[in-house]
Amino acid sequence: METPSEIIPDEQVKKVHANANFGDETPRQTLNEAVLAYAFGFGSGHTAMIILREHGLIGKPKGYTANLTAKGKRYARAITRDNFNEICALLARG
């Protein structure tokens, strides 16, 4: 299974995040949390949304919501490992 760093290398994360400041979170932590928010039907702030878009992880936003792209789904699976499908199934049950 791919790792998050194989899908989006650290160098690319640093380049896209540039000078964005999310407090004590590392750029990778911010990326992970934003991907999970979109994976579960939530949105993010504008800066995080733009960062995800630049990485190709979300499609064209509709307001502050967007769907994960195929790359975004791969990334979400990589950060949640084997639990991704189980989590999605639980959420689908409502």
To 10 degrees, the CA torsion angle through 60, 62, 64, 65? -80
Q: Which domain holds residue 41?
A: 4-93
At 18-73, the pLDDT tens digits run 888 899 989 999 999 899 899 888 888 899 999 999 999 999 988 878 999 999 99
The DSSP call for residue 68 is: B
**How many domains, the chain?**
1
Facing residues of 58 across strands? 68
pTM: 0.82
